[in-house]
Amino acid sequence: MAGFQQSVEATIPALRRYARALTRNSDTADDLVQDTLVRALRSEHLFHGGDVRSWLYTILTNLNRNRLRSLARRPFLMPLEDNDAPDMAGPEAGQRDIERALAGLVEDQRAALLLVVLEGLTYREVAEVQGVPIGTVMSRLARARVQIKSYLDGERPALRRIK
């Protein structure tokens, strides 16, 4: 039991980093990590060995999906931010461009990209975390990379035709 708790505790910094990148809000990320840890410790009996880190990422990912579903039912208000001005220059502008490019990704693509690039998970581990085949992970990553490259190159996003 102590070994399990130590493994969970050792994963907390990585969970916080992933949650902050995923939610883009430190308060929401901290709440998400706390809910993940509570659920993991209560459900220790359901852990049947293996990689604790992947199991915790799975819990966090599922909790975030539930959070997004509940938010989708509420009206969306977009706050105005100081960095919305297009004439930004300097090193901060590049960081904001990357943040905006990440924000423009579909949630599943952003999550897959963050798990691979930020957290260093393998494609197989990401597939387990997201509960999808490895080919789907590869497709999500490829689409995310193309979309980010297009955004950083200044290309306008392609519009979909709705019939």
* 71, burial (CB in 10 Å: exposed 0-12, middle 13-18, buried 19+): exposed
Provide CATH 1.10.10.10 ranges for the chain. 88-163
Model confidence over 43-93: pLDDT tens digits?
888 888 788 999 999 999 999 988 888 877 776 555 555 555 554 544 455
The CATH number of 88-163 is: 1.10.10.10
What is the structure's pLDDT at 50?
82
156 pLDDT exceeds 70? no
Task: Give how far Cα 137 sits from Cα of 87, 121, 159, Å.
Answer: 36, 12, 23
Return all residues near 114 (Cβ < 8 A) that are at least 6 apart: 18, 21, 22, 102
- Residue pair 123/134 in contact (Cβ under 8 Å)? The answer is yes
Q: Which amino acid is located at 158 in the chain? A: A
Indicate the average pLDDT of the chain: 83
**Which pTM value belongs to this model?**
0.65
Provide CATH 1.10.1740.10 ranges for the chain. 1-75
What is the structure's pLDDT at 47?
86
152 pLDDT exceeds 90? no
Model confidence over 17-33: pLDDT tens digits?
999 988 888 999 999 99
Can you tell me the distance from the alpha carbon of 144 to that of 31, in angstroms, rounded to the nearest whole number? 27
The CATH number of 1-75 is: 1.10.1740.10
